[in-house]
Chains A and B, each alone.
Chain A
Amino acid sequence: GMAGALEPHMETLRRELRAPDPAVLSVLLALIAVAITILLWRFVQGRRSGRRAVLLLGLCDAGKTLLFARLLTGKYRDTQTSITDSSAVYRVSSDKSTNVTLIDLPGHESLRLQFLERFKAAARAIVFVVDSVAFQREVKDVAEFLYQVLVDSTVLKNAPALLIACNKQDVTMAKSAKLIQQQLEKELNTLRVTRSAAPTSLDAMGGPAQLGKKGKDFDFSQLPMKVEFVECSARGSKGEEGDADFEGLEKWLAKVA
């Protein structure tokens, strides 16, 4: 049956190969060329769009959405609590023609982990925005979220560059980046111990990853990725009409892109 049906086709193919008819041969070659082009294109595309995203993470009211708007348009916008992510292509201002996709993720407790799950694989770099004014009050929550980001298996594997942006520096009570770094290191040190001692979750797949080196106090230099601290202000010292103060952030973005 089947073999019998294929036989005439095989015959024609063999006949063609022996005595090539230019029309059929050219059609065959064209098809092969198209196939190869498609494969190449997809390969290149995949490699290029692998990890081109810069994620903006942080607690609620840290200023992520305003930072996002300022980076993209330079203008001040009123913002509300984000419920979903926003993404746009950000052209780095230097003469390099590279561009990255800025993704602003919601900071609310019920949403942050879900959205992180969705976008962590595409992350080339992470900007963790911290509210420097409310930091003293929120240090435990900031540290917990940062811990959850850092022990994530995908993040540890890809080791995207991490920038901790201490936002809201235009307010006089804002803490400096150095102080924030010290406090976070201390808090993460404690969290390592308490988190690994927490009761295992249902259906747990292995224990939580270890952060930093055992035995020594936690330090940001112990992490597999590059961590930097920078001060910035999305609102800007001149109020809503002026520009935002974030040269450090822009320089870092240019470096990372």
Chain B
Amino acid sequence: MLDFFTIFSKGGLVLWCFQGVRGPAAAATAPVNALIRSVLLQERGGSNSFTHEALTLKYKLDNQFELVFVVGFQKILTLTYVDKLIDDVHKEFRDKYRNEFQQKGTLALLNGTFDFKDDFTRLLREAEESSKTRAPVAMKTFEQSLKSQKTIKCMIETRGEKPKEKVKPKKNKGSKKEGIEVVAPGKAPAGEKQLPGAGDREELSKDEILQKNREEFFKRHMKAGERASKSPKPEAQKEKGKKPRVWDLGNSNAKVLDYSNSATNGSTEPGPVEEFDPDTALGDRNREPGRLYDLEYESDDETEEEKIVPNPSKTSTKKGGLGGMFGMLKGLVGSKSLTREDMDPVLEKMKDHLIAKNVAAEIAVQLCESVAKKLEGKVMGTFTTVTSTVKQALQEALVQILQPQRRVDVLRDVLDAQRQHRPYVVTFCGVNGVGKSTNLAKISFWLIENGFSVLIAACDTFRAGAVEQLRTHTRRLNALHPPESHGGRTMVQLYEKGYGKDAAGIAMEAISYARNQGFDVVLVDTAGRMQDNAPLMTALAKLIAVNAPDLVLFVGEALVGNEAVDQLVKFNKALADHSMAQTPRLIDGIVLTKFDTIDDKVGAAISMTYITSKPIVFVGTGQTYCDLRSLNAKAVVAALMKA
């Protein structure tokens, strides 16, 4: 049932290939290449399965001998034996050719003929049979189940009731359950006559317990608290013999609750003067009047909710003695292969370090998972510790993520567009307040310095002062680069149609205006919008789909933390959903702004590039026109790994 199974070295040579059900040999290379490019090279190695068109691919890495094992099968099938098959094949292949790998290295891979077919067919047969041998389990009859043996009494839950069961009463209506749910009897249908009978007397005595539980629950879940308060009412109505419930604040009349003093409602008399103690109000007596002190730097230990996972290293430190010492010595001298247990404490620490550096939490987790997969089973060199190996691998992974997957050269593309006599259109999108208009002005300054004329399209028709802001920038830029020094043509012009109009329409008109007037670049400024705001996201998607800009830049601030993931995912999703084309225009690049406000907490760069796998095109480091930089991957990673 498998489509193919390949074994190849990490250097690219295919060692052995099995063609399964159908397909020529070439059918295996394209999906495997896609697997390598999207999973292994983008550090998404956490999960071991990948879908490509109609195939599902599962893979396993052998880090000791640098091999990759990939199996492909149809997506619609769910084969349960695949994982076991890969593990068995891995072990078998490695043991069979272990000597060759160890002795001859690359030449062994090149010259060796790996005749693995018989072993593979045997393992495949074994795996298929093992999945078939489990006979279908016959369903238990009702008499056999535990439920028929329960009595009504033990079904009543009093203490330790879970809040979730409040949702269940809706199901009770249809079922003929013999048990009752005391937790939310308010919705119990009239059909269950047993309720007032046996259960009630027990309710009466357990009134206080219920009330206490309800108050506790009310404190924890505010929403569900409303349901708790609703239920006592129908209870009280059912049996008149019940004691009315006494709440702390209920049943008292309004007079007791009125804490305002008599002088209210328009009276201008001041209330009783409180004792004003200047000491407590002013605080420090010895301060100089009028001076504003600096913020004192305290090392803050942020309580992070992510630290739920108990540290597994606690158990590993218990085992020690002679075995531990031997292991350490062996580790120092080399030829020790890394196991998951060795790496886990180090990876935990690295993950926390990354999160402290403002990398989004889920991305830090995925990164560490991927690094663990890459290092598992690898043989460490002499005198290298686990920490240094893991750190090295993580550093390489981070540099890899920050390397752009496509060319980042705006000027080159503008030259191309110039040659084709059409303007190069750049659109800026992002949430509110990240610096779109500011960085748009910086980029237009940079383009003017390089001799390109720019048309700014003011498609932010919503925010007050957006058009005026761009007009001020235009005036300033024209003052810095007057037409006289550029052969008599104005380098910057603003195209605006005021407020309240449709942004997509303005953009389209601006582009045709630029084409007629011969502008080289059109920079389209859009309004900031939250990623959850569906109508605004639709409007943005429409603007991009209709005008087909050459470059869609997402502007994100470097201060953002976990929000970056949400913003980018939702923006991309909106652009993909509302596009009519086969290949929708997604975000092409990222502008990282406010980089000067973070010292070395540069994690936002990693989060953004990891999510979109698109490069960071510009970095904004201030509010003047010269504060525009390009990303230096090594410097960012160095700042990230610095302790």
Contact = CB atoms under 8 A, between A and B. Distances in A.
A144 B409 contact: yes
Interface stretch (B46-54, B106-114, B253-261, B426-434): B106-114
Given A108-B37, A198-B630, A199-B630, A78 B14 contact: yes
Contact of B628 (A79, A84, A199): A199
B491 interface: no
B13 A110 contact: no
Contacts of A113: 403
B415 A194 contact: yes
B14 A202 contact: no
Contacts of A108: 37, 41
Interface stretch (A65-73, A123-131, A174-182, A223-231): A65-73
Contact of B12 (A86, A87, A202): A86
B593 to A, nearest CB: 13
Contacts of B632: 201-204
B106 A87 contact: yes
Contacts of A106: 12
A32 to B, nearest CB: 29
B10 A84 contact: yes
A75 B107 CA distance: 12
Given A65-B12, A113-B403, A194 B412 contact: yes
Given A80-B36, A199-B629, A202-B619, A194 B411 contact: yes
Contacts of B628: 199
A209 interface: no
B636 interface: yes
Interface stretch (B127-135, B291-299, B393-401, B458-466): B393-401
B66 interface: yes
B636 A104 contact: no
Contacts of A198: 409, 411, 630
B106 A202 contact: no
- Give the size category of A's interface with B: 35 or more
Interface centre among B13, B36, B107, B630 (most CB of A within 10 A): B13
Given A84-B66, A114-B399, A190-B412, A109 B404 contact: yes
Contact of A80 (B29, B399, B400, B621): B29
Nearest to B447: A197
B630 A82 contact: no
A65 B105 CA distance: 16
Contacts of B66: 84
A140 B401 CA distance: 22
B41 A83 contact: yes
B110 A202 contact: no
A111 B402 CA distance: 11
B25 A77 contact: no
B401 A110 contact: yes
Given A104-B12, A190-B412, A204-B632, A111 B400 contact: yes
A73, A83, A191 interface centre (most CB from chain B within 10 Å) = A83
A57 B42 CA distance: 21
A93 interface: no
Given A80-B12, A110-B401, A200 B111 contact: no
A79 B30 CA distance: 11
B405 A191 contact: no
A87 B29 CA distance: 23
Contacts of B635: 201-203
Interface in B593-643: 595, 618-619, 621, 628-632, 635-636
A98 interface: no
Nearest to B405: A109
Nearest to A102: B106
Nearest to A112: B403
Contacts of B37: 81, 108
A40 B450 CA distance: 56
B499 interface: no
B578 to A, nearest CB: 29
A80 B14 contact: yes
A78 B25 contact: yes
Contacts of B10: 82-84
B18 interface: no
B101 interface: no
A211 B635 CA distance: 24
A194 B410 CA distance: 8
A84 B412 CA distance: 31
B40 A140 contact: no
Interface in B174-188: none
A104 B635 CA distance: 27
A77 B107 CA distance: 13
A243 interface: no
A104 B411 CA distance: 32
A152 interface: no
Contacts of B412: 140, 190-191, 194
Nearest to A89: B107
A247 interface: no
B81 interface: no
A179 to B, nearest CB: 19
Contacts of B32: 80
A195 interface: yes
B23 to A, nearest CB: 14
A38 interface: no
A190 to B, nearest CB: 6
A73 B110 contact: yes
A185 interface: no
B107 A88 contact: yes
Interface of B: 6, 8-14, 17, 25, 29, 32-33, 36-37, 40-42, 66, 68, 105-107, 109-111, 396, 399-401, 403-407, 409, 411-412, 415, 446, 449-450, 595, 618-619, 621, 628-632, 635-636
Given A72-B110, A104-B12, 5 more contacts: A88-B110, A114-B400, A144-B409, A194-B411, A203-B632
30 contacts: A69-B110, A72-B107, A73-B110, A78-B25, A79-B12, A80-B8, A82-B10, A82-B12, A86-B9, A86-B106, A87-B106, A104-B12, A109-B403, A110-B42, A110-B400, A114-B400, A140-B407, A140-B412, A144-B409, A191-B412, A194-B412, A194-B415, A195-B409, A198-B411, A199-B446, A199-B630, A201-B630, A201-B632, A201-B635, A203-B632
Q: Which 7 A-B pairs have the closest CB atoms?
A: A86-B11, A82-B12, A78-B14, A201-B632, A194-B411, A65-B12, A203-B635
Interface of A: 65, 69, 72-73, 75, 77-88, 104, 106, 108-111, 113-114, 140-141, 144, 190-191, 193-195, 197-204
